[in-house]
Structure 1
Amino acid sequence: MARCVSVEPATFAAAHWGQTPLLSRAHELPNPSGFRDLLSPADADDLLSRRGLRTPFLRVAQDGVLVPAARYTGGGGAGAEITDQVLDEKILDLYAGGATLVLQGLHRTWPALIDFARDLGLAVGQPLQVNAYLTPAGSQGFATHYDTHDVFVLQVDGGKHWRIHPPVLPDPLERQPWGGRADEVVATATGAPALDVLLAPGDALYLPRGWLHSAAAQERSSLHLTVGVRALTRYTLVEELLALAAEDQRLRATLPFGIDVSAPEAVEPELTETVEILRDWLRRVDPTALAARLRQRAWPAARPAPLHPLAQAAALGALGPDSRVTPRPGLRWQLTPAGERVTLRVFDRTITLPQMCAPALRALLSGEVSRVGDLPGLADDTDRVTLVRRLLREAVAVPAHGSCPNLPDGGAAGDPPPPPTGSTDQGQEKHRRQQSGDHHHGHRAWAEHRVSPVGQNLRRGQADQRAEQGHDQRQHRQPDRQVPAVPVAGRPGDGA
């Protein structure tokens, strides 16, 4: 957060968040090199030419409208059965002709921005996205508009002239894009701006959703990043409350036979009764049920840090009591007792485990313990290894940096480890067979098939998880709520 605003977080939250713009000059921010470490013009060139970029990770705008993707995409060449790969020579032609290039979803594709977005998202407590805008000298990508999400603008290179006007619709929702109020937007934009400013490299600008803005490059080309914060709103609560209200049979009742729904006098008594039923239901809403729906909606939009699948898989075989693991960075989790079991919920799944695993889970996920052999509450090291292997396989935990020094970069080892301290004679024998080449009796088989309460319960928990994960996905389906994956005409996105 300190890289984006020049005031203390508490001051920003009280005086600016969702309320008024904030301009932060480069000399007020702790960024010695500005924002070039996040994405430089050379990085952008690399993305456009050497990374096999495809739509919708790139949009192109000219004269205030989006350029059809067919004008700058084509086949990927030999061995690539795709038709929407970005063609660098087409991009050159459009950019040289004054078009603005919009690199989208950089919080998923560019390493420095993946980390930056994760940390900032945890600070603001909201899902966010990162785009980059590359505008040729003297050009303007989009006309005056507003966004339906808050935006942090981070000027990387060149300069851009911004004109900011007050909202025509305060706090617009995603279903209320500026295109539906285009006349009001144009009329307001002709008046005196609330803020008229030139952003230079290293400057940052916060814009709450709804504030009108336009931006034009100056004598040289411009590159800026936009961090769009997809804030949850009270209307989000209303949407989820209505979804829960479907469980009340009274609210599922059919309207009277033959009712003329176009006649206000016919609708009025039904409206009155429905409002009374809804009011009665709202008095008894379970906050736990509402929080569960909000979790299912918010957590998948804020993914944890990426992991390395190959190193993670190798770590499964290298695991032992002396291995060190950490929770996956940026992972949101919830641990709930459920009778003889404990439920671990993360962004994309629900995992059920024996109740005896709860102390170890809490110690690992809270960061109190990193050494596998130090995890509390389990009978022996074999049970600890079994639990941690499951957490590695579920991408809940990751190997601590440097915890496997025998492999390059201290990553996950591929060589089988010695048997855990205190292992049974049976475990020693299986380890001997593993070392002599009997790999079907390898470490994973020895740990997971050992006859122990944890091993048996973990295998049963995997079946429970599959059932519960399917239930979570069914619960989260909301076919009536459609959010475009890519901004469309009339919805420029994260600032121009």
Structure 2
Amino acid sequence: MIPSLDALLAPHDPALLHAAIRERRMAWFRTGHDDLFRALLPWSTFNSLLGSERLLDDRTRMVRRGRDLPREMWSYLGPDMKRVVVPELLQRFCHEGLSIALNQIQHAVPGIAALVKMLEQALPARIGTNVYASFGRESAFRAHHDPHDVLVLHLHGRKRWFGFGHQSAHPPGMPLTNDRLGPVHWEQVLEPGDILYLPRGEIHRASVEGEASLHLTNALLWPRGSDLLHWLAGTGLAGNGLAADDLDRDIPVYGTATDLERCAEELRATLHRLADSIDLTAFLAAHIQKRQTRPPFNLGLSSDCAPTCWVQPLPAPDLRLPAEGGATIPFNGEEVTLDPDERAVLAALLAGGARQIASLPGPAGLDMETVRDTVARLARRSLVLLTEG
């Protein structure tokens, strides 16, 4: 369990990562947490995922020499018309430089789910996590840039990464072939326990050093201008004394040229009022509160609540709770009522990040029996995520 951004980056100061994000530049951290990172997704767990039906669904990609490998090349249709994987073929392609990508891996591995929840609380951003297993020295993915920031956690093996600067330095529409990439701006070998941050648009490629490597790629999805426009068209209207009808009424294509010009003038006036009233603080607060989280079940764990069990809060990190008594909070688009004990435990978690149950009585100001009972109630309501200690 990695309870906080401080624990993830230690011994480095998280301020270094925040500075790289603000300045839109690459950053690399060697943490020494090799055992902790390997435990996030052991090779045995990765192989068990390949043995499940996930290998054949749309969240999985097989990439070789920059191209997706059709599933017909490593599987066949059985007599019951169900596709059957041929392990020998998959092994052969791996020896020839295959990469396997399992998208949205946080929905399949509890430890990674807990990691993603922590990152979403700490940064904060919407995060989607993919795992990439690469085999052989030949890179399966060509040089490319991502439409979002990336935080790489290296789990197994070694992989050499190359950076070629920002995509804005390359003519738009020109393919990113090796002869057009220009000089390498930076080069770094990642080992287990290493973290690599790449800003949106940073052109990069990577190749395995040795036989195999495994890493997590966390896509950091920050709020964008398009999100602000949607918010202005909804909540922003009411905040400026406007009604939804001010933007939702018909554009009179059935009318005269004069009707169209009158409508254009009215829309310009409405949009000017909205633009002049932009409040990014209010928008970001609303954006974070609106974010949906997949509710965990916590089955089995909520009935035991062992002292070593980790408890991770799921409401927005900037949630303001009263100092005493109960509270009503927004969560997943609804209003949720907390009793005083639930408010106290949740406040302690939001203040200090994920904690083991044994460490909660002091910060929450409750005895251990009350803490365990309260955590169980919060878990059954999916307000916290429980992970074995």
Q: Return the TM-score normalized by structure 1.
A: 0.58
Q: 1:335 to 1:350 in 2, by over 3 A?
A: farther
| SS of the residue 2:167 aligns to | coil
Could you say which residue in structure 2 is the equivalent of 1:344? 329
Per-residue Cα deviation, 1:72-104 (whole angstroms, up to 9, x for no partner): 456799xxx994676644432432333211122
Contact residue 145 and residue 214 of structure 1 kept, 8 A: yes
Q: How far apart are residue 191 of structure 1 and its match?
A: 1.0
Q: 1:95-110 counterparts in 2 under 5 A?
A: 95-110=94-109
Q: 1:65 to 1:243 in 2, by over 3 A?
A: farther
Q: Return the TM-score normalized by structure 2.
A: 0.72
Q: How far apart are residue 307 of structure 1 and its match?
A: 4.1
Contact residue 18 and residue 150 of structure 1 kept, 8 A: no
Q: Which of 229, 238, 248 pairs up with 1:238?
A: 229
Could you say which residue in structure 1 is the equivalent of 2:49? 47
Q: 1:390 to 1:136 in 2, by over 3 A?
A: closer
Which segment drifts farther, 232-241 or 204-213?
232-241
Q: Which of 396, 406, 409 pairs up with 2:383?
A: 396
Q: How many residues align?
A: 357
Q: Look up the equivalent residue of 2:164 and give its one-letter code.
A: H
Q: Which of 206, 225, 234 pairs up with 1:215?
A: 206
Could you say which residue in structure 1 is the equivalent of 2:68? 66
Q: 1:330 to 1:360 in 2, by over 3 A?
A: closer
Q: Which of 269, 273, 276 pairs up with 1:276?
A: 269
Q: Which of 347, 366, 380 pairs up with 2:347?
A: 366
Q: Look up the equivalent residue of 1:330 and give its one-letter code.
A: P
Q: Look up the equivalent residue of 1:37 and give its one-letter code.
A: A
Contact residue 98 and residue 134 of structure 2 kept, 8 A: yes
Q: 1:236-275 counterparts in 2 under 5 A?
A: 236-244=227-235, 247-258=243-254, 271=264, 273-275=266-268
Distance in 2 (alpha carbons) for counterparts of 1:284 and 1:388: 42
| SS of the residue 1:158 aligns to | strand
| SS of the residue 1:192 aligns to | coil
Per-residue Cα deviation, 1:153-179 (whole angstroms, up to 9, x for no partner): 233333323221222249xxxxxxx9x
Q: How far apart are residue 13 of structure 1 and its match?
A: 1.3
- In structure 1, list runs of 5 or more residues that go unmatched: 171-177, 376-384, 402-408, 410-496
Q: 1:170-249 counterparts in 2 under 5 A?
A: 181-183=172-174, 185-186=176-177, 189-244=180-235, 247-249=243-245
Contact residue 49 and residue 88 of structure 1 kept, 8 A: no
Which segment drifts farther, 30-39 or 104-113?
30-39
Q: How far apart are residue 207 of structure 1 and its match?
A: 0.6
Q: 1:92 to 1:184 in 2, by over 3 A?
A: closer
Contact residue 61 and residue 141 of structure 1 kept, 8 A: yes
Question: Is 2:16 the counterpart of 1:11?
Answer: yes
Over the matched positions of the two proteins, sequence identity in percent amounts to 22
Distance in 1 (alpha carbons) for counterparts of 2:78 and 2:291: 35
Distance in 2 (alpha carbons) for counterparts of 1:218 and 1:152: 20
Q: Look up the equivalent residue of 2:65 and give its one-letter code.
A: D
Per-residue Cα deviation, 1:276-311 (whole angstroms, up to 9, x for no partner): 2112245567889856752465233xx47x443245
Contact residue 245 and residue 251 of structure 1 kept, 8 A: no
Q: Look up the equivalent residue of 1:101 and give its one-letter code.
A: I
Per-residue Cα deviation, 1:29-86 (whole angstroms, up to 9, x for no partner): 2425473222233432333236864423421111212223454456799xxx994676
Distance in 2 (alpha carbons) for counterparts of 1:31 and 1:99: 27
